[in-house]
Amino acid sequence: NAGVTQTPKFQVLKTGQSMTLQCAQDMNHEYMSWYRQDPGMGLRLIHYSVGAGITDQGEVPNGYNVSRSTTEDFPLRLLSAAPSQTSVYFCASSYSAGNGYTFGSGTRLTVV
């Protein structure tokens, strides 16, 4: 059971480049979320989904897009990378809202 898988683990982008962070879970979880973690700020919610075809914005959605075409996958797209998007990104999934989320191991992104 792989749980929540994030790829890549590390990425360096130049300002203005676009890329997609991949997230896949094999637990048939309906709820999936993307967070970014910055020093001294904890984790902040970027986007979330409550099921295939349904997404919504979190606390810090600007500069990011998501889609959820299948239950398993929830990719996060950076449209035009900026240095302010340098962060560690975590994907998480849950069977139900109050069940507690399972986190992936993260993607460390640096934008230069």
Residues that bind another protein (CB under 8 A): 4, 31, 33, 35, 40-45, 48, 50, 58, 90, 92, 97-98, 100-106
The answer to whether the CB of 32 falls within 8 A of the CB of 55 is no
Please say which residue, 13 or 46, places its beta carbon nearer to another protein.
46
| Secondary structure letter of residue 52 according to DSSP | T
Q: DSSP H helical segments within 4-107, as ranges?
A: none
Q: Which is nearer to another protein, 5 or 65 (CB)?
A: 5
Do residues 77 and 17 touch, judged by C-beta distance below 8 A? Answer: no
For another protein, which is the closer residue by CB, 52 or 101? 101
